[in-house]
Amino acid sequence: MINIYSHTWREPIIRALADGPKRWAELCSTLREIEGDAPGDGYINTELRSLQELGLLERRQVKGTHRRVYALTPAGEKVYAAVSKAVGNDDSDAGGSTDADRTLDEARQDSAKGLSMDELEARALLIDTTTPHPARRYNYLLGGKDNFAVDRESGDQIERVFPGVRISVLEGRRYLQRVVKFLAGEAGIDQFLDIGTGLPTADNTHEVAQRINPSSRVVYVDNDPMVMTHSRALLTSTPEGRSYYLEEDLRNPDRIINHPDVQAVIDFDKPVALMLVAVLHFIRDDAEAYSVVSYLKEQLPQGSYVAISHLSVDTFPPDMAAFHHRQAEEGKTDAFARTRQQFFHFFDDLKLVEPGIVVASDWRSTVPLDERPRHQDVAGYGAVGFKDR
């Protein structure tokens, strides 16, 4: 199921109308066929109105009847063509990068002026700037510029109640880099599936891996259209290796594994490193989170590794931990902490690599103990499991 709070429905609606106008019921049916689910009526009506305001679709009356249908405008057809080109992983020049502060109003004005719409401009129209997204908020907390006001506000709100959040995200990046060095070096892994990758930044998985083994192949997965925009512009690879980006939601693991482009990059008959860094805590339901990880582990051959980091408030002072739990119960946070025991459950049927489950900043760190951050500021565990059977 797609999380409607973090994955825009504008693109699925455009895709649903690509083969012709549709009435309301037919549109909803097509959405379910495409996505496996559909949001509530209120949410889909909001998205339809926003697409009309952007000039990407219109309501038409069927000639000779009283029926009204939704249909793409010429601008909407351009967006569909451009996005289809992106999803198809066309390697032609995308025409530059998109400024994160480009607003939907600016994009609409350009469309109204009849300006040409390249792939990246089209994707800008699909980015939801009204709801914070974890990838963009993470980018803001790391000091990046690829975010919107709503993401910065969300990050600032978190920092007010959890002053160590910037330390936490920085240590999360360092954990990932240490893990990739171990996997590409000592473990000899040359295939990586990195789900919930976030916006490209320095020392991404493929950069760390390919410095050690230039033939390393990496597939990145995230559900934010803005990540696709920047990934196509910024992700490069060594001639011997390959890096590829797929826009998809972690909650659809079968669609990730079985995507033809993923299958073309990664050979699932050989060991693979599955990277789930700082992403599982965005799935609130324990059963769903464990089911997703269980499915992904089942697809990996013997000799593969699974690296996970996860938010936890085990190391918080009692008042801060209680506050987080209240926020979670009231639905006021999009990140849900788990205990060490709950985290351990993700590694069922795997053999933990030394040093086992530790606070993420301690996993194979070479920093002296007295110079490492406080555990309560890191706020999460890290571990790597080996599939030995």
Please answer whether residues 55 and 73 qualify as being in contact, where contact means their C-beta atoms are separated by less than 8 angstroms: yes
Fold (topology level) of 165-386: Rossmann fold (3.40.50)
**Short-list 285, 89, 266, CA closest to 193:** 266
Please answer whether residues 284 and 314 qualify as being in contact, where contact means their C-beta atoms are separated by less than 8 angstroms: no
* Both structure tokens of 279: 């992403």
Give span(s): CATH 1.10.10.10, the chain: 10-131
* Both structure tokens of 137: 């908020």
Which CATH class name applies to 10-131? mainly alpha
pTM, whole model, 2 decimals? Answer: 0.70
Token pair 């109003």: residue? 105
Q: What is the pLDDT along the chain (389 residues), one digit of tens a residue?
A: 333 333 457 778 888 888 889 988 888 888 877 666 655 666 677 778 778 877 788 888 888 777 889 998 887 787 777 656 544 433 333 333 333 333 334 444 444 444 344 544 555 555 667 778 888 888 888 888 778 888 899 999 999 989 999 999 999 999 999 999 999 999 999 999 999 987 766 688 999 999 999 999 999 998 876 666 666 555 678 889 998 888 889 999 999 999 999 999 999 999 999 999 999 999 999 999 999 999 999 999 999 999 999 999 999 999 999 999 998 898 888 899 999 999 999 999 999 999 999 999 999 999 999 999 999 999 999 999 999 98
Give span(s): CATH 3.40.50.150, the chain: 165-386
**What residue type is 256 in one-letter code?**
I
CA torsion 353-359-361-367 (nearest 10°) is -80
Please answer whether residues 295 and 339 qualify as being in contact, where contact means their C-beta atoms are separated by less than 8 angstroms: no
